[in-house]
Amino acid sequence: MTVPAEALSKIPNAFFTTRQIASEDLSAFTKWTGVLPRYEEAKEAMDERCANDPKDCPAAKWEAMLKEQQGKLLKQKLDAVNRFFNAVTYIEDSANYGSVDYWATPYEMMERGADCEDYAIAKYISLKRLGVAERDMRIMIVQDNNLGGIMHAVLQVTVGNTRHLLDNQATTVTTVNEIYHYRPIYAINEQQWWAYQ
């Protein structure tokens, strides 16, 4: 069912109506703080593997996409990264890893498939490698009210005064102004986290 634009304008957008409280204490977020060093270790191993045998390089397409985006406009980078990772097969952590919630590196994701936070992580790391500042990115954990309130993860990238969302459920990059069905729960990057109330 399509909701008329005039009706949407009367629904409060939770991205603007929730209050955020920031903290630099990331100690409770072990899945997030654990995936980053695992990525660095995997990158070293993958770089060596690809240098030794370029034909045996699972990350070759990712590296080529990143190289192609060097020097392009930020909007083009957002679109390319979103499109690249949204092509990866979706698979629940329980089926993929036998775990309720596993945060995968981009390499694990490309080899095994992914669920929502893995898409957000891979996009975050890709855009960081393309020069986007950490302070401008947040992995957002949201409640999806279109799907009965289940938890979901997206990447928010702030460009000027506009907050863009890279979402594995959307084929194009959107802005928070366009999204009414997500309610932010918390967000995190490498510097801090935010609770939304």
Rounded-to-integer distance, Cα 135 and Cα 154, Å: 16
Question: What pLDDT is attached to residue 3?
Answer: 39
Question: What pLDDT is attached to residue 56?
Answer: 84
Question: Using one digit for the tens of pLDDT, what is the confidence trace for 83-118?
Answer: 999 999 999 999 999 988 999 999 999 999 999 999
